[in-house]
């Protein structure tokens, strides 16, 4: 995710329920997750509360579930079984964003204070 998006969510994470990880600082974590750096940069990946790897819209829902203001939205997405519908829109968007922003380095990834810590 772009640093703006991460900062938005991290600011809402008052209870520090999410360990925000910057893969650009420590790529060894990717090996533990069986992900390449390229895969991590193409789509959002999250280990949910149960330790299950989620990506794409399911990863957003896992984040939203932990954040105030977004919890209700996460419940509605699950209740109305909208993950697959939203995923069909996210898939081409993430490909476009990767090509346009990540490869062009227009979306820099800030280094957090500590790996696993919230971004400022």
pLDDT at 65: 97
Looking at the chain, the number of H-run helices and the number of E-run strands are 6, 2
Q: By the 8 A CB rule, do 77 and 61 touch?
A: yes
Question: What is the value of pTM for the model shown?
Answer: 0.81
Note the helical H segments in 13-106.
Answer: 28-33, 37-42, 57-66, 71-79, 83-97
71-98: per-residue pLDDT in tens?
A: 999 999 999 999 999 999 999 999 998 8
Question: What kind and span of H or E run contains 3?
Answer: helix 3-12
Direct distance between the N- and C-terminal alpha carbons of the chain, in angstroms, rounded to an integer: 15
Say how far apart CA 110 and CA 78 lie, in whole Å. Answer: 31
Q: How far is CA 55 from the centre of its chain?
A: 8
pLDDT per position as a tens digit, 22-63: 777 778 888 889 998 888 888 999 999 999 999 999 999 999
User: Is pLDDT above 80 for 118?
Assistant: no
**So where are the chain's domains?**
3-102
Question: How many other CB atoms are there within 10 angstroms of residue 5's CB atom?
Answer: 13
DSSP assignment of 71-92 equals HHHHHHHHHTT-HHHHHHHHHH
């Amino acid at each position: 995710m772009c640093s703006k998006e991460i900062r938005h969510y991290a600011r809402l994470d008052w209870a520090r329920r999410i360990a925000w990880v910057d893969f650009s600082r420590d790529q060894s974590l990717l090996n533990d997750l069986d992900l390449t750096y390229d895969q991590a940069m193409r789509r959002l990946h999250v280990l949910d509360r149960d330790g299950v790897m989620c990506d794409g819209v399911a990863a957003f829902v896992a984040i939203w579930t932990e954040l105030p203001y977004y919890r209700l939205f996460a419940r509605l997405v699950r209740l109305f079984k909208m993950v697959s519908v939203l995923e069909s829109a996210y898939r081409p968007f993430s490909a476009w964003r990767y090509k346009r922003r990540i490869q062009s380095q227009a979306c820099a990834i800030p280094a957090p204070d500590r790996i696993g810590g919230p971004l400022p």
